Amino acid sequence: MTAQALKPAAAAAHECRLFIAGRWTAGAGDDWLPIVNPATEAPIGRHAVATAADLDEALDAAAAGFRIWRDWAPQARSDVLRKAAALIRERLEVLAATLTAEQGKPIEQARMEIGNCARGFEWAAEEGRRAYGRVIPANVPNLTWLATREPIGPVAAFTPWNFPASQAAAKIGSALAAGCSMVLKGPEDAPSPAAGLVQALADAGLPPGVLNLVLGHPPQISAHLIASPVIRKISFTGSVPVGKQLAAMAAAEMKPATMELGGHSPVLVFGDVDPVALARTLVQGKYRNAGQVCVSPTRFYVEQSAYDAFVETFVEAAKSIVVGDGTDPRTQMGPLAHDRRLEAIGALIEETRAEGATIRAGGERLGNRGYFYAPTVVTDAPEDARILREEPFGPVAVIAPFTDRDEVIARANGTPYGLAAYAFTRSHETAAFVGRALEAGMVGVNTFAIGGPEAPFGGVKDSGFGREGGMEGLSAYLVTKMLAQTPG
């Protein structure tokens, strides 16, 4: 569909139930909502809808599960996570096929996401064995001061549809490694990959109640879980507006929260690079998962001397991307995940046109079946255009020239977002400068590879607070207890 339209493939119907207290259930209301294949717009399954009674049961199960799990030795918790990782690898093809059917991304990207879930569980399994405390020299004789780390308690976690497996795995892995239990609200648009992770953990020997999966109506679920006295921590990945609402709800209950929110990542391309070779490389990163990535490069600022060559090559490469059903191995970019995103991108591009920008590639829906949108390149956008101020979260790249590096830093930092930023240069001095000057939780210099289970992931400003991944991800689920003791 660029270029060439690829025929969508059929997918078998399936259903995704709730997982509460160690068992799969249709829920007290026996209500269901459809799961839609974004490449065909056809229902391919259904998911259960949690009632208030189901949520209370999940909370009770998480409370009971925590009392058991927190006392398991770190090595025993590690063994469960490592066994689950092995099971995920054994089931990779089935899990990846389900992910592509429900979310739309190309099958190779789905395989990579499922593989990253196994990697994340293995990292958490090892890091959980190293939740060290410390001995503090006391100020009087015969007094011992110990700073110990303990699991914070049952967690309410909320995960998005763009990476329905790996985002769930990041939260699950660190929380379980720390000794916490969890009620996970999975993504209703693509719920089955998270359910597959839950099944792997259950098969690996996770005690009932330690991990519970609920689905349904997000506002009702989030309000119910956050208000419950059972829940001790919130972890959310999603949009800035929803994140702010949930953060306010958590603050009202005095509950700590990890908020991994949206981004609008600038990319600074300096004139000392090869603009043609770099443009061909950067196109692949831009249109990964149809641009539905919170750290997706969106605003490309290119030094004037390299601008024309970069734009020409980028536009040509964007037009050549093969768009189609993710099950087709020729597909390089799948559909948008649902009709809401298709409508939002279409409206944003029409507004961008009206503001005087030039659409150099794409700018339209592809076909009339499936949520396909052409890889889009925008130039000449006014600096106050909405597309430069709000996260597009789709297959849209905005390219603009610059001449002064201080000025381009101000433009790059001139949004409320601060999740990721990138720069490409051959100058060590420039690389050091942008690394310090860019306001983002993650900065990639000459690379987009800023994430992985070993590294902290998160943003600043409106892009959230707290980190997932690395030792920081584990620490988010631990609290420090000060223990003072004398011989008696």
Catalytic residue numbers?
Answer: 260, 294
429, 276 in Cβ contact below 8 A? no
With the C-alpha atoms ordered 281, 282, 283, 288, is the resulting torsion angle positive or negative? positive
User: 332: helix, coil or strand?
Assistant: coil
Q: In this structure, how many other beta carbons lie within 10 angstroms of the beta carbon of residue 157?
A: 25
Residue entry with tokens 């160690």: 22
For the stretch 429-438, what's the b/e string if a residue is b when 16 or more beta carbons lie within 10 angstroms of its beta carbon?
ebbebbeebb
Please, what sign has the CA dihedral across residues 297, 298, 299, 300?
Answer: positive
Compute φ and ψ for 194, nearest 5 degrees: -65, -40
The sheet that has 442-445: what strands, in order across it? 358-361, 376-379, 396-402, 297-303, 265-269, 420-424, 442-445
The dihedral built from the CA positions of residue 129, 131, 137 and 140, taken in this order, carries a sign that is negative
Listing from the earlier edge strand, what are the strands of the sheet with 32-37?
14-16, 42-48, 32-37
Count CB neighbours of 6 within 10 A: 21
Helices (H), 438-486: 470-475
The single-letter DSSP state of residue 336 is -
CB distance 317 to 3 below 8 Å: no
